[in-house]
Amino acid sequence: MRKTKREISLGLSAERFQEGHHIIYVYNDDHERKKTMARYLQQGVLEKEKILYLVDDISPAEMKKELMDLGVDIDENQDDFDITKAHYACCPDNYFSKDFMLGVVGEYYDNAIKEGHAGARGAGEMSWAVKEDHADIHELLEYEAALNHILNRYPLTTVCQYDARKFRGDVLMDILSVHPMMIVRGQLVKNPGYIEPDVFIKEYKDRMERNNAGSQ
């Protein structure tokens, strides 16, 4: 694990940011999202990073082709890319495990450094979480909150992509709350509604307890 964080470009503007940001991208336009992700991933190539992409709606091979069509140099950098199905990566036993995924993040970053990469970045499509009961939303929220602590230690720059057409509005608001940065119209901006992870978890659990008590 590296002791100091690098300053990197995310490919979305000329501005450079500290690696290890936890970013949310709420979208309803697939074409615009893929163009934005292509810029982000191609910049990872230029930054000499290991790149993880978790795809949901199409196959890894189809995603690879789409990204290449959008200008991402995958063929010439095959060893730098891991493109895999999000469901299989996040739910090895067919159900999401917060602790398992937090371990994966740290391990992926450490392995990238050991392999000689300058760092690592990832992007994941999250719609699998609302398909066929693969995840408990409460555990997913706790994972997203806890990920902020993990990324402080293992600065894998991360973009979590949430389709606004598939997630309930109240769930999206909670998920937004635990991402310090967000992509809006192709640009990275600070999230004014960000809540520190430990504060969010306490407030969230208190709210759930009140809701459960009120329904009895």
Q: What is the pLDDT of residues 199-208, one digit of tens each?
A: 999 998 888 8
Q: What is the mean pLDDT of the chain?
A: 90
CB neighbours (10 Å) of residue 65?
Answer: 13
Topology adopted by domain 7-215: Rossmann fold (3.40.50)
With beta carbons less than 8 A apart as the criterion, state whether 129 and 89 touch. Answer: no
pLDDT mean over 182-208? 92
Predicted confidence band of residue 12 (pLDDT cuts 50, 70, 90) = very high
Share of the chain above pLDDT 70, in %: 91
Which tokens in the block code for residue 7?
């300053």
Cβ neighbours of residue 156 closer than 8 Å, sequence gap 6 or more: 20, 52, 105, 108, 109, 112, 119, 120, 121, 122
pTM for the model: 0.91
Q: For residue 216, is pLDDT > 80?
A: no
For the segment 15-27, the average pLDDT, to the nearest whole number, is: 96
Q: Where are the domains of the chain?
A: 7-215
In this prediction, residue 90 carries a pLDDT of: 64
> What is the Cα–Cα distance from 202 to 97, expressed in whole angstroms?
20
Q: Nearest-CA neighbor of 86 among 23, 52, 128?
A: 128
